Amino acid sequence: MNEIRIATRKSRLALWQSEYVAEALTATHPELSVDLLPMSTRGDEVLDRSLAEIGGKGLFLKELEKALIDGRADLAVHSLKDVPAESPQGLVLAAVMPRADWADLWLSRDGQLPQDLPEGSRVGTSSLRRQSQLLRRFPHLQVEPIRGNVETRLGKMRSGEVSAVILAAAGIDRLGIDLHHRTPLQPPDFLPAPGQGVIVIQCREDDRQTRARLEALHCPLTGAQVSAERAVVAELGGDCRMPLAALAEVSGDRIRLRARLASPNGQDCLDVDLQGAKAQSESLGRQAGQELLERGGMRILSQL
C-alpha cells in the first residue's frame, strides 16, 4: 500500500513536526501519499491543572497511540521528551529524526537575565526539571506554573503576567518565532530533558512495511544519544514527569552522558557524569540511573 496516515496533535508545533516527517517520507519514497490525522488529546484539553495531577506527559500520546492500535493511522509523530520510557504493547518507536537544538531558552520581554530580576519575580514553567535547576541556581525567583502551546506561554511573558518563561529552543526555531531576547540555558547549570529536540516516529510493531520505510529517516547518531538518555529514565521508573535532566554527547566512537536528578526546590541535587563506548550507550544510561538511585535518588523521588 502506498498510503500513509500520520496521527498528530493539532497544535501548530505538532503539525509542523508531522509535516516535516511527511516531507521526509515522500522525499525518500516518492510513490507514497501521506495524509495527516490531526487529533485533540487530553493533555491539550485540560490546561487548568498540572500534567502531574492529570496523568503526566503521556496524555499527549494516548489518543494518537489508540489511533495506531485500531488502524486509523499508520504512524504517530511525537516530541521524544514527552514519550514515556516504555511503549504500549504492540507499538514501537521506529525512528528518530536528526536532533535539533537541545537547549532550553530563557525568554524575557526586555532581556533581563535571571540574576537581574528582583526577589520574588515570577518565571513561567510547568516543568519540574526546569523549576529545580532554575531554583538551584537562582533561589530568589518564584516559579509560576503555566501550560498551553508555545504562543500561549509567550503571551503570558509579553503581557507581564510573568517576568520570563523557559521554553525549548527546538520548538521556537521550528515555528520560526523571532525573539529579540533569547538566552540559552547551558551546562553545567542547566541540562535538557532526555530526548529534548528530537522528533520520534511511532508505529505498530508488526507493520514491517512501514518500519522498513522509516529506516531511511532514522539518525544513528541521535539514536545513540537518546538511547543513553532514555535508559536513565527507564532505570528510575520510566516517568517523564520527574525532575530528571540528561544530555548525551558523541565524539567519534565515545559518548559522554551527564544526568541530574533534583528536588523541585533545587536544594537536593544529584549529578553523574560518565563516559563510555558509543556502542554501549544504553548500558551507560542504565549505569547512570543506578548511580543516581544508589546516591539517594529515591529520597528525591519520594518528594514528588
- Residue 7 one-letter amino acid: A
How sure is the predictor about 238, in pLDDT bands with cuts at 50, 70 and 90? confident
Looking at the structure of the chain, the number of domains it has is: 3
User: Is residue 242 domain-shared with residue 301, that is, in the same domain?
Assistant: yes
How sure is the predictor about 86, in pLDDT bands with cuts at 50, 70 and 90? confident
CATH number at residue 38: 3.40.190.10
CATH number at residue 303: 3.30.160.40
pLDDT of residue 52: 52
pLDDT of residue 109: 87
Q: How far, in Å, CA of 200 to CA of 6, rounded?
A: 12
In the chain, helix, strand, coil percent, each to 5? 40, 25, 35
Per residue in 110-145, pLDDT (tens digit) is 899 999 999 999 999 999 999 999 999 999 999 999
Active-site residue list: 82
- Within-domain flag for 179: yes
- Within-domain flag for 191: no
- Within-domain flag for 192: no
pLDDT of residue 42: 60
pLDDT of residue 166: 97
User: Is residue 210 domain-shared with residue 160, that is, in the same domain?
Assistant: no
Q: Pick from 101, 73, 107, 77: which is nearest to 4 by CA?
A: 73
- Within-domain flag for 237: yes
- Within-domain flag for 78: yes
Q: Over the range 255-268, which residues count as b (16 or more CB within 10 Å of their CB) and which as e? A: bebbbbbbbbebeb
User: Is residue 72 domain-shared with residue 210, that is, in the same domain?
Assistant: yes
User: Is residue 77 domain-shared with residue 203, that is, in the same domain?
Assistant: yes
Is the pLDDT confidence value at 297 over 80? yes
Mean pLDDT of the chain: 92
User: Is residue 120 domain-shared with residue 67, that is, in the same domain?
Assistant: no
Q: How far, in Å, CA of 37 to CA of 21, rounded?
A: 13
Q: Mean pLDDT across the stretch 7-16?
A: 95
Q: Mean pLDDT across the stretch 7-14?
A: 94
- Parent domain of 141: 104-185
Question: Nine-digit cell at 28?
Answer: 525518500
For the chain, percent of residues with pLDDT exceeding 90? 84
Q: Mean pLDDT across the stretch 55-69?
A: 79
User: Is residue 2 domain-shared with residue 87, that is, in the same domain?
Assistant: yes
- Within-domain flag for 30: yes
- Within-domain flag for 193: no
Q: Where are the beta strands (DSSP E) in 148-268?
A: 164-168, 182-185, 199-204, 244-251, 254-262
Is the pLDDT confidence value at 231 over 80? yes
